[in-house]
Amino acid sequence: MSLLNLLLLILVVAALGYFIGRSRALKSAKGDQAALHSRPHHYGWNVAIFASLPALLVMVAFVLLQALVVPNSVLKEISPELIESTGSRSLVMTQVQTISNGLEAAVENGLIAEENIATLDVQTADVRALIQEAGVVLGADVNAEMLESAKTLKDRVKKWSFIRNILIVVISLAGLIYAIIRTNKDFRARNVVENSIIALLVAAASIAIFTTIGIVLSMTFETLRFFELYPASQYFFGTQWAANFRGGSALGVLPLLWGTLYISLIALAVAVPIGLFAAIYLSEYASPLMRSVAKPTLEVLAGIPTIVYGLFALTTFGPFLLGLFGKGGALGVEWMADGRSVLTAGIVMGIMLIPFVSSLSDDIINSVPQAMRDGSYGLGATQSETVRQVILPAALPGVVGAILLAASRAIGETMIVVMGAGATAAIFYESPDRFINPFEIMTTITTRIVAQLTGDGAFNSPETLVAFALGLTLFCLTLMLNVYALYIVRKYQERYV
Amino acid sequence: MTSKHDIDTQYNDNQTRDLDMNNIKISAKKVQVYYGDAHAIKDVDVEIQDKTVTAFIGPSGCGKSTFLRSLNRMNDTIDICRVEGEILLDNENIYDKRVDPVQLRAKVGMVFQKPNPFPKSIYDNIAYGPRIHGLAKNKAELDDIVEKSLRRGAIWNEVKDRLHAPGTGLSGGQQQRLCIARAIATEPEVLLMDEPCSALDPIATAQVEELIDELRSNYSVVIVTHSMQQAARVSQKTAFFHLGNLVEYGDTGQIFTNPQDSRTESYITGRIG
């Protein structure tokens, strides 16, 4: 029985349990619903939960355990020579697994009988062709030992699956029977159902939290590996970024950090005023009709994928800026040599962020109580005085939160930078012009992470591992911003409203 | 009761003088207010006198708050609201095109049902209006205005040591007195109060009522209230609204002791409302 069928079986048992539990509860109360402690459907759900939840949990645990134990047990038996000749253990294992899957598929498609697999031999049959016919493509010919390992793997998986199926069906039925026995009119089924709902919600919340912890931990370990290969002081304080896959790279984070902050700063300088003013207009001045049209339109901007913005930067906005500031441009200055620049990426990123700032700020401004506006108008204040002196201060914590959220987005943005600002890190040592001039090409942490990880490099050189250090740096940067945002909101929340 | 009798007598004296002194502050003629299609105020004629407390009473939804809000054009902030007819403030129609509603509201201050101090310090709450209208030439003058307003708002002694603490940190009754002081600070000629005590406890209510009585010496006060006792306690003139109509308007004593209209009588004796 496959996993999917097993899942269906459990659900069928649970559904059955629902009806049994419900009717049993009613019967114990002699059909009088008011005599029951809980509503009839609570009894149904109680049985359904006992029939499915433990079985499903065991199933997940079993599948994880099987994926860990079975391939390893086969791998242990593979000779060192084979591993040597193939390259690495993981490569051998991948091939063995593919062959095993192929054999399985072949049996399912009726290309070979189950009992004949044991006698299958590389000498007498073209295993690769057989597997290929079943729809599984193999990179290399099958050698004898691999085929034997694949057979063992297939057998063991089968044995484990069998045990698994029995175990889970038993658990499911045991849960069903246990819950049915407990069902009577005084049983507090509602509390059980309520608690299960809490457990479900807690599980959902903890998955998110544990994933975050997992990501941070894995990045931390890789970063520590990086610092074994590359001195931390040079990473943190190095003023040069020159990654070179032949080795001898300069991997200082400062130029990238500078590029990230510089571009983000320009983006915020564009997005914050425009977004905030748009929000004030929408929430305070616009007529309901105008608002109902303008707000969704503005929010469309937020739905555009950033790669499209990047394209806009590369093909439209960059050349436009070059036409203004470049050689022979409209302004007659020669400040810009390339369409890609800090300014191009910064402004386009700013446009991307406008809906973030405006939409969030608009919601926050709207949530300022009408009593505040009335109070101000009642004293003879004009609309703009009211906005500036009463509404904005009251909305400040939320607006700051919106701005910092936009800042996090700016710091994490990749595609617009790749296409709008280039791939060369800021250069500190030539002349100040080379890293202060906004018309220069510059790049950010995110684009370098992509660049360091794409390609054939194995994860054992500082040039690739630096990506994890960069990722962790970025994470810390946005984390600090978020913490600061929380701090601002907390600090002013008491004072305002 | 004797004091009320005194007021009534005094009031009757005033009224006899009214005709020659013409101290009518606000005069409404044939006022209609519409919310979209709903006709909220129908044909209201009323004359509100200077240095008098006028109470608007009536059951919920009778339009008394709506009418109050049309006296300083606060209804302008509601899109679907439309006002017809004439409201004269010192013989000038406030719905005239030449009248700037912002200036009007500086002259006709308003205190709301729920205390609504700004999320600023007590000082800044009071200084808000004077700053906007440029009433103080320098910091010392502004300090002076703030102190004077807080004293007139009968809250100075409670807040003088914490002028820079947030106004939102005060108790409900203090907040309402702060809002009254804030309205006074812009030196209005008329003070509109929309159920100023409905969110307050009895002690705070008593304090605010006392304050309203004191304010009468300088301003024309119009108060909307659900409490008939309050109307009887603080006002000299009372207007009874019912279903958008002004049913009866006259001296408070007369309205409560000898109403002319049967609807007024039913309301004050608790049969409708």
pLDDT 10s digits, A381-438: 999 999 998 898 888 888 888 898 899 889 988 888 888 888 888 877 777 777 788 8
Q: State whether A308 and A202 are in the same domain.
A: no
Low-confidence ranges of chain A (pLDDT < 70): 1, 87, 455-458, 492-497
Residue A433's nearest CA partner among A346, A335, A348, A340 is A335
Residue A380's nearest CA partner among B89, B228, B267, B100 is B100
Domain count along chain A: 3
Mean pLDDT across B66-72: 91
Burial class (CB in 10 A: 0-12, 13-18, 19+), A250: middle
Q: State whether A203 and A329 are in the same domain.
A: no
Q: State whether A371 and A473 are in the same domain.
A: yes
CA-based nearest distance B166→chain A, Å: 7
Contacts of A377 in chain B (CB under 8 A): 74, 77, 105
Q: State whether A170 and A222 are in the same domain.
A: no
pLDDT 10s digits, A33-85: 888 888 889 999 999 999 999 999 999 999 999 888 888 888 888 877 777 77
Instruction: Please name the residue ranges forming H helices in B22-70.
Output: 64-70
Query: Most B CBs within 10 Å: which of A379, A384, A396, as the mutation test of the B interface?
Result: A379
What pLDDT was estimated at residue B22? 54
The ipTM estimated for the assembled molecules is 0.83
B105 with A379: Cβ contact below 8 A:
yes
Residue A242's nearest CA partner among A254, A224, A229, A226 is A254
Question: Tokens representing B140?
Answer: 């010392």
Range of the domain at A471: 234-495
Contacts of B118 in chain A (CB under 8 A): 372, 375-376, 389-390, 393-394
Instruction: Tally the residues of chain B.
Output: 273
| Distance (Å, whole) CA B127 – CA B130 | 5
Ramachandran bin of A413, using left for φ above 0, alpha for ψ from -120 to 50, beta for the remaining angles = beta
pLDDT 10s digits, A109-124: 877 777 777 777 777 7
Q: State whether A89 and A200 are in the same domain.
A: no
Burial class (CB in 10 A: 0-12, 13-18, 19+), A9: middle
| Distance (Å, whole) CA A47 – CA A53 | 10
Among A374, A393, A495, beta carbon nearest to B112: A374
Q: State whether A34 and A172 are in the same domain.
A: yes
Q: State whether A441 and A356 are in the same domain.
A: yes
Question: Tokens representing A363?
Answer: 């919601």
Q: State whether A286 and A213 are in the same domain.
A: no
pLDDT of B177 higher than 80: yes
Counting one residue from chain A and one from chain B, the pairs whose CB atoms sit within 8 A come to: 77
Can you list the domains of chain B with their CATH numbers? Answer: 2-268 (3.40.50.300)
Decide if A328 touches B, using CB distance below 8 A: no
Q: State whether A71 and A148 are in the same domain.
A: yes
Q: Within 10 A of B101 (CB to CB), how many other CB atoms are there?
A: 19
Among B72, B104, B132, beta carbon nearest to A381: B132
What pLDDT was estimated at residue A203? 93
Q: Which residues contact A266 (CB under 8 A, 6 or more apart)?
A: A342, A343, A345, A346, A347, A349, A350, A438
pLDDT 10s digits, B77-112: 888 898 999 999 988 899 988 888 888 998 999 999
Q: State whether A249 and A337 are in the same domain.
A: yes
| Residues of B within an 8 Å Cβ radius of A | 72, 74, 77, 79, 102-107, 109-112, 114, 116-120, 128-129, 132-133, 166, 168, 179, 182-183, 186
Contacts of A378 in chain B (CB under 8 A): 72, 74, 105, 109-112, 183
Among B111, B112, B132, beta carbon nearest to A380: B132
Query: Most A CBs within 10 Å: which of B69, B99, B118, B193, as the mutation test of the A interface?
Result: B118
Beta bridge partners of B46: B28
Q: Which residues contact A248 (CB under 8 A, 6 or more apart)?
A: none
* Residue A406: alpha-carbon gap to chain centroid: 18
What pLDDT was estimated at residue B20? 37
| Distance (Å, whole) CA B153 – CA B172 | 14
3-state secondary structure A295-355: HHHHHHHHHCCHHHHHHHHHHHHHHHHHHHHECCCCCCCCCECCCCCHHHHHHHHHHHHHH
What pLDDT was estimated at residue B7? 47
Query: Is-contact A14 A52, C-beta < 8 A?
Result: yes
CA-based nearest distance A397→chain B, Å: 12
3-state helix, strand and coil shares in percent for chain A, rounded to the nearest 5: 75, 0, 25
| Distance (Å, whole) CA A280 – CA A383 | 11
Decide if A376 touches B, using CB distance below 8 A: yes
| Distance (Å, whole) CA A60 – CA A56 | 6
Q: Which residues contact A485 (CB under 8 A, 6 or more apart)?
A: A400, A401, A404, A405
List the single residue in A with minimal CA-CA distance to B113: A371
B118 with A385: Cβ contact below 8 A:
no
- Residue-averaged pLDDT of chain B: 86
Q: State whether A162 and A296 are in the same domain.
A: no
Instruction: Tally the residues of chain A.
Output: 497
Q: State whether A400 and A447 are in the same domain.
A: yes
Contacts of B182 in chain A (CB under 8 A): 375, 379
What pLDDT was estimated at residue A352? 93
Single residue among A171, A187, A203 that ends a domain in this structure: A187
Which helix (H) or strand (E) is A157 found in, with range? helix A144-182
pLDDT of B210 higher than 50: yes
Contacts of A288 in chain B (CB under 8 A): 79
